Structure 1
Amino acid sequence: MSSQPRLYRQIYDQISSQILSGEFAPGSRLPTERELSEHFGVSRPTIREAIIALEATNKVTVKAGAGVYVKKSTDLNAGINNEVSPFEVIEARVLLEGESAALAAKMITPSEKVELQAAFENLKKAGIDNTPASADADRKFHEVIARATHNRVLANQIHALWELQENLEHIKEAHTSVCDKQGAKRIDEHLVILNTIVEGDADGARTAMQRHFSNILEVMHAALEQQALEAAKLKGSQMRERFTIGLFSDSK
């Protein structure tokens, strides 16, 4: 039996792992076929077969004359569409980012503590309004924590969730409305997260991050209930107007 299929599969697995870890970032161009051949110490036909397998499993896209590119997070999440609710995204974030905060509290380096403090100061400076600058600062704060875990797979998954949140319009709108309502409370919650991580308090960091997302969910639920109430009132008003016109309009 030929060992060639096993060999290309090994290369496929290694490149897949590098994509998942973020070593080959979403949207980036893979090294050339020749470079990959030299790097892995295999023939170019073997690399070609591995690339075909990567393309078939939706990990890369091959652009004629341009090279092989890692699919962006939104492409990697192509199976996730508008049927996904904002609640599902927040639930995924609290599960991943709660543990991310706990791990970061144990693993964060002195330079990363400085970076996290600077990210918080930028968030505070951007203000309590949900401006693009504030949204960018918020994301930066969370991504510093993700990197401080020193777990590239975990950091990459959190990055993918941010991409999902920002690229599915209904989820972006829901998150924006929540940030608009949280105001100064959002800054206070991030300060608690910052302090617990810097102090190395893993349990406290996990609780602070979970409480932050719990508050987001509470605001989101309240907004949903308000929307339902307003829709019901509007429907009732329309029904009242319709039947009032039908029963009491002047006859001609």
Structure 2
Amino acid sequence: MNVSLDAGKLSSGGRLYQRVAEQLAKVIAEGEYPPGSRLPAERKLAERFEVSRPTIREAIIALELAGFVEVRGGSGVYICNGESEKLTQTTLDVGPFDILEARIMVEGEAASLAAQKITDEEMAEVRQALDDMVTENEGEPICEKADEHFHMLIARATKNDAIVSVCSHLWALRNSSPVSARILEKVRQAGSKPRIDEHHAILKALEARDPKAARAAMREHLTRVIQQLLDATEAEAVEEARRAIMHDRKRFNLINT
């Protein structure tokens, strides 16, 4: 059975990944993918639902949290018995890619304004936060408190309470979102940590009191964070494909022949 989603369904209210998750849950409940079967590849799901692969990844994480699917590293995404009402618990959840896009906009401008207003005392606090980040990166598990502190110090250096409030809210969403937390866990499992060199570039621009450079450094850093998330979640798909190829080679006696 091939269920096509019209544009109206995906453009109606609610977050995109949430709507995709609900549609996937529906076809699972209808028996298209019975318990124990494997979902199609991410690329095929993206084509079917006419959304990006990051949106599919967020939708699958939502389904995993709701108990609809089990993500098995290096094997794929398998259907299990889930409770549809659990999906409503993530209705107000915001995916990590949306959060990061908002942070690029807000924190980029915050860094630019901070470069014009930051005091020497505040600059010293930002330097200390970067030193703390180095220490945190050497420990286990990575808690990233110094990373958050670094960014919030820059927001406060703008002397604009509205900017501080927005930045604080975006970090709160990042820390409380189950979908975001699950993807960040995958990033950590892949060995990714806060990049010290990128934060140092932000600090250097602030020290130079260069608004343009500060904005560019912050935006570049957060753009690279998006790439980290993409790389970490892509790694699972790549490993799944590699195992499938190896399985086919063994099946057709193409190894050591």
TM-score clears 0.5: yes
Q: C-alpha separation between the residues in 1 aligned to 2:113 and 2:186? A: 30
C-alpha distance in structure 2 between counterparts of 1:114 and 1:138, whole Å: 15
Q: 2:184 & 2:223 partners in 1: Cα distance?
A: 13
So what's the TM-score if we normalise by structure 1? 0.56
Q: Deviations over 1:109-150 (max 9, x none)?
A: 121111111111111222255635x41111111110000011
- Partner residue of 2:167? 158
Shift of 1:176: 4.2
Q: Which residue of 2 aligns with 1:103?
A: 113
Q: In percent, how many aligned pairs have the same letter?
A: 31
After TM superposition, the runs of 4+ consecutive aligned structure 1 residues lying more than 6 A away are 233-241
1:91 partner letter: E
What residue is the counterpart of 2:191 in the other structure? 181
Match of 2:126 in 1: 116
Aligned-CA RMSD value: 2.9
- Which of 146, 168, 172 matches 2:177? 168
In the alignment, which residue of structure 2 is the partner of 1:5? none
Contact 1:100 1:149 in 2 (8 A): yes
- Alignment of 1:140 onto 2:149: yes
Q: Distance in 1 between matches of 2:139 and 2:215?
A: 26
Aligned residue identity for 2:109: E
Partner of 1:223: 232
Q: Distance in 2 between matches of 1:205 and 1:154?
A: 16
For residues 33-72 of structure 1, the aligned pairs below 5 Å read none
Tell me if 1:196 matches 2:241: no
- In 1, the alpha carbon distance for the partners of 2:112 and 2:238 equals 39
Partner of 1:60: none
Residues of 2 paired with 1:176 and 1:151: CA distance? 32
The whole-number CA distance in structure 2 between the counterparts of 1:147 and 1:107 is: 10
1: CA distance between counterparts of 2:205 and 2:154?
12
Distance in structure 1 (CA, Å) of the matches to 2:183 and 2:136: 20
Contact 2:110–2:154 (8 Å) recurs in 1: yes
The 3 A distance-change label for structure 1 pair 199 and 213 is: same
CA distance in 2, matches of 1:117, 1:240: 53
**2:183–2:233 CA contact under 8 A, matched in 1:** no
The alpha carbon displacement at 1:238 in A equals 9.4
| In structure 1, C-alpha distance between the alignment counterparts of 2:158 and 2:98, rounded to whole Å | 23
**Which protein is richer in helix relative to its size?**
1
- Show the counterpart of 1:208: 217
Structure index of larger Rg: 1
Structure 1 unaligned runs (5+)? Answer: 1-77, 245-252
Alignment correspondent of 1:126: 136
Amino acid at match of 2:207: V
